[in-house]
Amino acid sequence: MAARGFFSYWLLPVVSSLVWLGMLLGMLLHWIVDTHRRIYPTMDRGGTIAYISDIGAQQLKPLFIAGSAVTVVLLDLAFFAERWLRHRGRLVRNQSSGERALVWLSILFAIVGAAGLILLSIFDTWRHPRAHDVFLLLFIGGYWLSAVFICWEYQRLGIKNRQHRILRSSFWIKLAFIMVELVLAIVFVSTTFTHNNNVAAVFEWAVAFIFTFYVASFIIDLKPAIHTKSHAARFEKTHHLEDALPANGHSAVNGDGFVAGRNGRHL
């Protein structure tokens, strides 16, 4: 759906991912170019690679707060948009109460992750180190669990709607994110506790940059809604393909997995 022709829901993850990537690159380049790899007072002895939070606790704290807030607010709005679009038939509908429960669990933990990121950017590692670490765990854990539940939802949707290949693609992308981020997060936490600070800092940056691709993955989830603007093109309240056939019993499935109905429009 587009609002007055200028807005489409898939732009939410586009802007969110670009803001997040721009913030990370801005902070990293500031540390390398402007400060010449400054050793911040929050960096442990022997550490020469700054954590994101080390940079975000100094001059660029306003950027860190603003970038984090905009990123997660837009991302969580994309979660709500996906649920609303499925409810309205703009995307493949959730068929069971179990699928809807998975959606709301993913939204709940996304809100937890969003709160964690915003709060960790406000309660920086210099002035509030303990609170900062708690909110960091909320951010990572919240969005990781949210990804697990939405991946589970897409797995169930993909099984029931095999003609829609985009569901399988989204499932595999999110599953890859879950597995990669889990491994990287384990390494990050373990090296932090063993005081291998430079290694931990590198893995923290890796976790953050890969999060960009997870945010961007929602583009492919929301973009199919541009084909279902009219009521005639929306999905029926059943997932059974034969129930959506026109009166003559014929339908056509295109390469994107959309069904052309009686009037030739995409369903």
In angstroms, how far is CA 98 from the centroid of its own chain? Answer: 21
C-alpha radius of gyration, the chain, whole number: 21
Distance separating alpha carbons of residues 58 and 42, to the nearest angstrom: 10
pLDDT of 143 reads: 95
pLDDT band for 228, please (50, 70, 90 cuts): low
Which of 39-53, 155-169, 232-246 is predicted least confidently?
232-246
Helix (H) or strand (E) holding 8: strand 7-8
Using 50, 70 and 90 to split pLDDT, how confident is the model at 258? very low
- Give per-residue pLDDT as tens, 181-210: 999 999 999 998 888 999 999 999 999 999
